[in-house]
């Protein structure tokens, strides 16, 4: 699966429309937008995440943790290739955001031993709805990355890249799936340029007990989170 975000020249025509009894507008505005980027980059994700067939009895046999049946995590590789060295970041947008009050938390894994409990709606996405109830939730965790084959440290920004914060704990590895944050790599608080960025993203998920206990038919979930490449 390849996910791209490209900036192109756009023309937006805006005019004022008045009622028949009012005077027509005498001006019109053309907005011209575009971006000039230092190089061309592309992002790819290696495969998809499949938690397989989960039986009702198997889930009920699990111990509830944080009011949910935790499914653990699945890793997926990502790669960013640039024609020349560039500073880039990623943002994430879930196709199915959480629309109701959270009823459970997700144990999110950076590794087998480094994990955290998250119930921030911005950092979680929905596995879908059944009769207006959330099937469960999942998180997207930037687990590791290399820049031009060298280990990299993660940084993040909540103000569009004006200010950056070094990731110092497991919570900081979670991507915001509402598009509100940028996630990048660098030294301390400065993004670092590279031509080849590779890494691992861990997807952690949890199922709502209410869905399992009241299920009558097969419940399937299939959803997406889109990763968008941002030039810095």
Q: What is the pLDDT of residues 160-176, one digit of tens each?
A: 999 999 999 999 999 99
Write out residues in the chain with pLDDT < 70, as ranges: 1-24, 31, 34-38
pLDDT attached to residue 37: 62
CA distance 69 to 134: 13
Q: Which residues 6+ apart lie within 8 Å of 143 measured at CB?
A: 75, 109, 110, 111, 173, 199, 200, 201, 202
pTM of the model: 0.82
Classify 94 as helix, strand or coil.
strand
Domain ranges for the chain, please list them: 39-231
pLDDT attached to residue 92: 95
Q: Looking at the domain 39-231, which fold is it?
A: Immunoglobulin-like (2.60.40)
pLDDT attached to residue 219: 83
pLDDT attached to residue 74: 94
pLDDT attached to residue 61: 81
pLDDT attached to residue 118: 79
pLDDT attached to residue 36: 67
Burial of 5 (0-12, 13-18, 19+ CB in 10 A): middle
pLDDT attached to residue 31: 65
């Amino acid at each position: 699966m390849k996910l791209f975000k490209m900036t192109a020249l756009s023309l937006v025509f805006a005019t004022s429309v008045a009622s028949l009894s009012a005077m027509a507008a005498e001006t019109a505005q053309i907005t011209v937008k575009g971006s000039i980027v230092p190089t061309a980059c592309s992002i790819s994700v290696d495969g998809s995440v499949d938690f397989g067939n989960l039986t009702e009895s198997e889930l009920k046999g699990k111990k509830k943790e944080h009011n949910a049946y935790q499914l653990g995590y699945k890793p997926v590789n990502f790669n960013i290739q640039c024609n020349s060295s560039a500073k880039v970041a990623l943002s994430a947008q879930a196709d199915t955001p959480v629309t109701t009050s959270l009823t459970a938390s997700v144990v999110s894994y950076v590794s087998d031993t480094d994990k955290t409990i998250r119930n921030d709606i911005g950092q979680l996405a929905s596995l879908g709805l059944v009769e207006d109830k959330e099937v469960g939730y999942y998180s997207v965790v930037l687990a590791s990355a290399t820049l031009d084959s060298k280990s990299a440290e993660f940084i993040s920004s909540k103000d569009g890249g004006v200010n950056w914060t070094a990731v110092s704990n497991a919570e900081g590895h979670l991507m915001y799936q509402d598009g509100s944050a940028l996630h990048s790599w660098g030294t301390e608080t400065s993004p670092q340029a590279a031509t080849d960025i590779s890494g691992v993203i861990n997807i952690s998920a949890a199922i709502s007990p209410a869905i399992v206990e009241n299920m009558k038919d097969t419940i399937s979930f299939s959803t997406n989170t889109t990763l968008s490449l941002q030039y810095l």
